[in-house]
Amino acid sequence: VNVGDRYYIKAIATLANNESNITVTAYAREEESKKGMDSMQLTGATSSYARKYALNGLFAIDDTKDSDDLNKHGADEKNNNHYYAIKSKYELIINQKTRDWKKDDFDNWYKEQKEKFKPQQIDAYLTKILKEAK
């Protein structure tokens, strides 16, 4: 969308079912230039930003950090995110095979895996298993 001499990327996110739909629109402005980025990279980054905020609006996601989030006392937030992603995939795989699992089962399995692999590798492995199961 062109407003004056500035360009804005418009992103629309829609959630629909048989009865109704909800639509949210978000805009992000392209900078005139950004050091180290060509025009295609700049447009892509702006588009990504607009889509992120459209989805945030649609699903009421607040990605601002509160004071508790900022004070991690040395905890690696990236690994925490991997922990929850890995846990949800593990649960999906187990639920496909059996409904009988306990939280301790996952925690013990995850502890063993972390001794051998990085969280990103564990996540990629579980993603592969889920894709193959479809």
The DSSP code sequence of 103-134 is HHHHHHHHHHHHHHS-HHHHHHHHHHHHHHH-
Q: Are residues 24 and 75 in the same domain?
A: no
Number of domains, the chain:
2
Give tens-digit pLDDT for 7-50: 889 999 998 888 888 888 888 888 877 788 888 898 898 899 88
Q: Report how far apart, in Å, the C-alpha atoms of 16 and of each of 12, 21, 41 are.
A: 13, 4, 31
Residue 34 sits in the same domain as residue 53: yes
Is residue 48 located within the same domain as residue 71? no
Do β-strands 21-29 and 2-3 pair in parallel, antiparallel, or remain unpaired? unpaired
Q: pLDDT at residue 128 above 80?
A: no
Domain that holds residue 45: 2-58
